[in-house]
Amino acid sequence: MLTRCAGTALLLGLGATQAGSAGAQPDTSNTAARPPQPGNSIMQSQQEIAAALMRISDQELLRTPLAGLPALGYQALTGQRFEGLALRAPAQVDTDASHALPLLVTIGQGSERARQVPLQRNAFVFVTRLGRGDSWATRAFSTPEGKILGPASKRPAPPPPDKSISVLGVEARDMLRLGMLPREAGRYAVRMIAWDWVSNTVSVTLTGARADGAPQTQAPATQWLTTYRHSLEPAPGPVGLEDSRPSLTLMVTRDTTHTDAPLVANGSVRVPHDAEWPRSASGLSAVPAHLLFVRPDVVQPVVLALLLAPPRGPTTSGMVEAYFSVELDRQHGMPVSAYQGYLVVGDQISAAAPFEMTR
């Protein structure tokens, strides 16, 4: 059931627009790992690592064989220490000239995090098509052949914190071959999520006649993904001062005045207007948005695709604001569990909003 709710709320989770994240576990079957550089005790931020990866030109990314891309990544990151996920992809790919769409993934983590949140069970790539609002979610890393990961409760206990060594890994993925997005002309935003940590977002534009095939709503690798679509009427929201900065906020709340009250996801959106958005019944542009709900050790997220009807047109700076409330229940494929919630609009993603589904 999708509805707007009111009442006294107990705040269970809150996420504002993401400004940074921490890391996840590398795919040990394919990724070489390097210890931190001796003598460098300063930890770089995700933004600094993403900037360092920009030293690799788009031309180098496209002309270098996939197997050779990690070496370019290590070269760009010489002397860097990092805990988190960082991505690099070419800004534009002509599918007539290139058969691959490389995604360079940098993973920095300690051994404790690697044991608690194994990447093979928790990491996925979430792609949104800018303007139109289509989305694709695919497993980011496969389990090494012959290796079966057991439940977190049965894994070996993590080592003491002073023995948790930070490791840097760089791996390359071909997004077209792995079905992370369709071979279709358009603008795409790509990010990786691993439980409570999120990479930076990279934007990719596909061009060329080879990319002009029939429209696809799902890439081949995402047939397991269940998506719920619903158009929401404008929800009342605050009229604030003019602000040209994008902002996404997600809160997961429960009404404390009723014992059987459901969890409700409340969100606010302020993003630049996109001329490709569909129109709402009022004639205003409807904002395509996605709610992602992630469980530990379950790589498939629950995705609710929404069309948000803004209460008014763009501001003088071209920003659109929208507000919504969505009632969550087990009909949405959400069993009893701990969750991390995310709100995604275009190339923006909120910080993680943790909550628990208890019934």
CA 150 from centroid of its chain's CA atoms? 25
Other Cβ atoms closer than 10 A to 25:
24
- Helix, strand, or coil (residue 65): coil
pLDDT of residue 95: 83
Q: Which residues pair with 107 in a beta bridge?
A: 85, 169
User: Going by DSSP bridges, is the β-strand pair 227-232/302-308 parallel, antiparallel, or unpaired?
Assistant: parallel
Tokens 């770089």 appear where? 44
Q: What is the pTM of this model?
A: 0.77
Tell me which fold the domain 9-18+224-357 belongs to: Immunoglobulin-like (2.60.40)
Which 3-state string (H, E, C) describes 181-218?
CCCECEEEEEEEEECCEECCCEEEEEECHHHECCCCCC
The structural domains of the chain, with segments of one domain joined by +, span 9-18+224-357, 32-216
Structural contact between residues 140 and 124, judged by C-beta atoms closer than 8 angstroms: yes
Structural contact between residues 173 and 192, judged by C-beta atoms closer than 8 angstroms: no
The CA-CA-CA angle for residues 123, 79, 18, to 5°, reads 40
pLDDT of residue 315: 83
Per residue of the chain (359 residues), give pLDDT as tens: 333 232 322 223 344 444 333 333 444 334 444 444 444 557 889 999 999 999 999 999 999 999 999 999 999 998 888 899 999 999 999 988 888 899 999 999 888 898 999 999 999 999 999 988 889 999 998 754 333 344 444 444 444 444 444 567 899 999 988 889 888 899 999 999 999 999 999 999 999 865 544 334 343 333 223 333 344 444 444 444 456 788 999 999 887 677 777 888 999 999 999 988 887 666 778 889 999 999 999 988 999 888 888 888 888 888 988 888 888 876 677 888 999 999 999 999 999 999 988 87
* CA pair distance 359, 353, nearest whole angstrom: 19
